[in-house]
Amino acid sequence: MRSLFPLTLTGATIRRKGKRLVGPIDLTLQDQGITIVIGPNGAGKTSLLRMMHGIARLSDGAINWGCDLDTAHAAQSFVFQQPILLRRSVRDNIAYPLRLRGIAKAMARAQADTAGTRVGLGPMLDRPATFLSGGERQKLAIARALITKPALLFLDEPCASLDGRATREIEEILRQAATSGTRLIMSTHDMGQARRLADDVLFLLKGHIHEHAPTPLFFDQPQTAEAAAFLNGDIVE
């Protein structure tokens, strides 16, 4: 199977009700590492991720993958800021993507047990998913997203409302996924998290990519006054 990458956006733009949410975006991403998307509230981070994943329709421009579109969509997953939970057990929530792909129930549940245990949910597999804490819900969402072994995983601020311990545990899960070969593209408002996880940083401002640089260069030598001000904690509009 041909690789998903490079992922190339050319003039990619989303408008809603006449308002430009993001774009035009010109960007090429290769097949390894963790890309972190940062920027002030309203900069378009979520819209950019949704646009790349294909759940937000382009108004202008194009998005091209290294393979056909159906293959690309089948090889990626998305974790939302607020996890979507089915009214089922933790095990059956994690197994759900495999069941959709026609995997037999027993096999899907066995794989879900392994995936759930890997993210620290082993003792909770029989519980109703709706009884989980915020951090546990995100672990479930990540396990469910990874169970199909995606080549690419998008995450929209997965640690936004979590405490330090849960954040640390989820970051370790994401590092392991990246080490295992899954490409990650993730938004965050946490600059410490961006420093810890990112191989490269996309700084989004007013719907445009204002800077794109390797992590050390971006944090140590921002190229624009806006990026420097944002990293300093100033309000950037």
* Euclidean distance between CA atoms 139 and 22, whole angstroms: 29
Per-residue tokens: 185:
């593209």
**Residue 143 falls inside a structural domain:** yes
* Euclidean distance between CA atoms 172 and 225, whole angstroms: 33
**Residue 116 falls inside a structural domain:** no
* Euclidean distance between CA atoms 8 and 6, whole angstroms: 6
Condensed to tens digits (0 to 9), the pLDDT of residues 191-226 reads: 999 999 999 999 999 999 999 999 999 999 999 999
SS3 call for 80: coil
* Euclidean distance between CA atoms 155 and 76, whole angstroms: 11
pLDDT for residue 67: 93
**Residue 212 falls inside a structural domain:** yes
**Residue 101 falls inside a structural domain:** no
pLDDT for residue 166: 85
Condensed to tens digits (0 to 9), the pLDDT of residues 123-136 reads: 999 999 999 998 89
Condensed to tens digits (0 to 9), the pLDDT of residues 146-179 reads: 999 999 999 999 988 788 888 898 999 999 999 9
**Residue 118 falls inside a structural domain:** no
Inter-residue contact 167 to 193 (CB < 8 Å): yes
Q: Residue 24: is its pLDDT beyond 80? A: yes
- The domain of 208 spans 7-85+132-231
Please state the domain count of the chain: 1
**Residue 96 falls inside a structural domain:** no
pLDDT (average), residues 51-66: 94
pLDDT for residue 163: 85
CB atoms within 10 A of CB 22: 25
**Residue 112 falls inside a structural domain:** no
**Residue 126 falls inside a structural domain:** no
Query: What stretch of H or E contains 73?
Result: helix 69-74
Give, as one character, the DSSP assignment of residue 137.
H
Please give the full DSSP string across 5-72, using - where no structure is assigned: PPEEEEEEEEEETTEEEEEEEEEEE-SSSEEEEE-STTSSHHHHHHHHHTSS--SEEEEE-SS-HHHH
For residue 43, what is the domain's CATH number?
Answer: 3.40.50.300
Per-residue tokens: 54:
């294909």
